[in-house]
Amino acid sequence: MINLSKKINILPRWIIAFLDGFIMFQCVILAFWLRANFDWASLADYPVIGSAATYLMIGAMVMFFTKSYVGIVRHTSLSDGLLLMRTTIITAVVAYLVDFGYSVFLVPGKHFLPLSVLVITSVLTLSFLMVYRLFVKEIFSLIKYKVESNLPEKDVLIFGAGEAGILIHKAILKNTHYKFNVHGFLDDDPKKQKKKVEGIRVHGGLDMLDSLVKEKGVKELIISVMDLSPARKREIIDRCITLNIHALTITPVNEWVDGSTKTGSLREVNIEDLLSRDAIMLKNKNVASYLSGKTILVTGAAGSIGSEICKQVARANPGFLIMLDKAESPLHEHEIRLESEFQDLGLQTVLADVTDEENLEHIMKTYRPEVIFHAAAYKHVPMMERYPIQAVRCNVLGTKTVADLAVRYGVEKFVLVSTDKAVNPTNVMGASKRIAEMYIQSLDKKLRETGNGGTRFITTRFGNVLGSNGSVIPLFKEQIKKGGPLTVTDAKVTRYFMTIPEACDLVLEAGVMGNGGEIFVFDMGEPVKIIDLARKMIHLSGKKPDVDIMIRITGLRPGEKLYEEVLNDQEKSLETHHPKIKIAQVRPGVFDEVNLDISLLMEMKGNEGEMTLVGQMKKMVPEFLSHKSRFEAIDNESIVHELKP
């Protein structure tokens, strides 16, 4: 690919300064000639050459201070013109003062540079300095156009005729990889429609897109409006997908270099742009003030949710932050990122397993956390179906161990990060998280009834988070990169989605809002069909589903649901101060019974005990009905009956 900036050398500064000086010198001579009505003989009394030389010396000194010769001629702009005007005016003023001194002190009554000649010289100088720059710029543009005739073309529209749209238009015209044919702007503002911006017509709103795609052969739409609502952005992108044109958007302003944009500021539309919703604006402004100065422990700190919780806690200026995880490399990497971003943060990483009670007690005794966010968990459904004992050890025993220590060491609040898979679970992972919820709720109830502790236990329950480790979106991106196929378990399967920051906002809000015993659930919006998600991701990559990249139905994996829920059929919800955050009315169990059942679970070890263990889980969570799993056999009423004491 030809890059003119590299092919054609930039003129050295001394050559530009020489040309500017030469023009100044010649303009003085031309000014004298014009002033004399082209009668050279009438200038015999004036030292024309000496006057020109004097003006040149003055101009050279002024140029040295104003640096008017350092600009790249091919990129001459209005700012360069203003700088040349300033240089010319200063030169004229200094020349006038020198001529005044000459006529008063050296040769009384004699002017070597009359005022009329000086005025004409200034006008000529400014004009010629700008004209030759613009001439070079135009020659370069013609050469660039000639070269671009061999570049691949892109027919585009720009959505948004504001400042960002204008900057993007200027940027793509300078692109050296493609020749962009900008066929116009689209804008929602009726005041801009049918007018011209940068000489380009603003055709109308989004409703004009269909006809322009047909008439102009538009292949790309650049979305330049940065404050579009997620709903409006989805509408625009969905229209692009329907019309089979490529959509691009721009990076945030804070990522622009030196406050200006380039074609590098354009980015592909991500599927997250389609799934994101209006941000949840939490009304409780006490989150930061509550966490400020406190010692905070985050378990599972290296995971998708845990790491974001740590980041948001760090912004609240805690007294000390303890990041606990058993994954060494991710924990180390996250530590480096936080230390770089929050240099004054009191931070300690702890490599530990939440089921190791002895080690955890040492950590609690050493750091005395006041708030615990418990995000450590095994979350992958198919894997937990294969290893139910490990699921119970981490998700149930791990939660119980940390919660018991929280009571023992006087922690103010314990916030459990749960999942919508705990509702009507069809898999071991969801059931293990439901049992963890049950223990937390019953423990909080017992503490309230007996008055034997001040720790308040709170649970947050939400769906899938965008881009989390091992989730469907990173998987689809990787499959698209390899050319497909994209694997979907079932054409009917749906999931709720939310962003990681939103999920962590909810967790932090719960830590402040909760009084103990609540299960906070989140209005997840509308569920998304995974097969539609796959098709849209293929479209966004510039390919056609089932043509360029295939979609393959693989069948539901053991324990997977067709759809998820955030509330049980028997559960109702209470409103909170925010319309999208509710409290599930879940009747807490009896602590002694739940605790005994968990003790029985932990006694079941070895592969031969898996069926018995899952049977015990089903006894604890009667709504736990396995799906396409080896544990479906336990759902037979006679088997479950045999397990009952």
pLDDT at 597 (0 to 100): 92
CA angle 489, 494, 497 (to 5 degrees): 115
- Tens of pLDDT, residue by residue over 505-547, are 888 987 888 888 899 887 777 788 889 888 888 887 778 888 8
- The rounded Cα 323 to chain-centroid distance in angstroms is 24
Report if residue 222 sits inside a domain.
yes
CATH number at residue 261: 3.40.50.720
Structural domain boundaries enclosing 24? 4-147
Q: Residue 311 to residues 3, 255, 337, 505: CA-CA distances in angstroms?
A: 42, 20, 9, 11
Query: Which of 179, 294, 379, 421 is flagged as catalytic?
Result: 421
| Domain match, 384 and 235 both | no
| Domain match, 183 and 90 both | no
| Domain match, 175 and 140 both | no
Query: Mean pLDDT of all residues in the chain?
Result: 83
pLDDT at 469 (0 to 100): 64
> Which one of 216, 239, 269 terminates a domain?
269
| Domain match, 166 and 136 both | no
> Which one of 125, 147, 169 terminates a domain?
147
Report if residue 490 sits inside a domain.
no
Report if residue 645 sits inside a domain.
no
Residue 591 has pLDDT above 90, yes or no: yes
- Tens of pLDDT, residue by residue over 604-613, are 766 567 888 9
Please check whether residue 441 is in contact with residue 586, taking contact to mean a CB–CB distance below 8 angstroms. Answer: yes
| Domain match, 292 and 265 both | no
Residue 56 has pLDDT above 60, yes or no: yes
Report if residue 621 sits inside a domain.
no
Residue 116 pLDDT grade (very low, low, confident, very high; cuts 50, 70, 90)? confident
Question: Rounded distance, CA 310 to CA 45, Å?
Answer: 84
Question: Rounded distance, CA 175 to CA 152, Å?
Answer: 11
Task: Bin 169: left if φ > 0, else alpha if -120 < ψ < 50, else beta.
Answer: alpha
Please check whether residue 454 is in contact with residue 502, taking contact to mean a CB–CB distance below 8 angstroms. Answer: no
Bridge-based pairing state of the strands 413-417 and 220-223: unpaired
Please check whether residue 568 is in contact with residue 425, taking contact to mean a CB–CB distance below 8 angstroms. Answer: no
Output DSSP code: residue 565. -
Report if residue 532 sits inside a domain.
no
> Which one of 97, 113, 147 terminates a domain?
147
User: Average pLDDT, stretch 280-291?
Assistant: 70
| Domain match, 314 and 418 both | yes
Residue 175 has pLDDT above 50, yes or no: yes
| Domain match, 215 and 236 both | yes
Report if residue 545 sits inside a domain.
no
pLDDT at 112 (0 to 100): 76
Output DSSP code: residue 162. S
| Domain match, 101 and 192 both | no
- Tens of pLDDT, residue by residue over 381-413, are 889 999 999 999 999 999 999 999 999 999 999
Within 10 Å of residue 405's Cβ, how many Cβ atoms? 21
Q: State percent of the chain over pLDDT 90.
A: 31
| Domain match, 53 and 160 both | no
| Domain match, 236 and 318 both | no
Bridge-based pairing state of the strands 179-186 and 246-250: unpaired
Report if residue 228 sits inside a domain.
yes
Residue 421 annotated in active site = yes
With the CA atoms of 514, 519, 525 and 526 taken in that order, what torsion angle do they form, in degrees rounded to the nearest 10? 180
Residue 566 has pLDDT above 80, yes or no: no
Domains: count for the chain:
3
- One-letter identity of residue 461: R
Report if residue 239 sits inside a domain.
yes
Backbone φ and ψ of 204, nearest 5°: 160, -150
| Domain match, 294 and 238 both | no
User: Average pLDDT, stretch 432-460?
Assistant: 92
| Domain match, 260 and 356 both | no
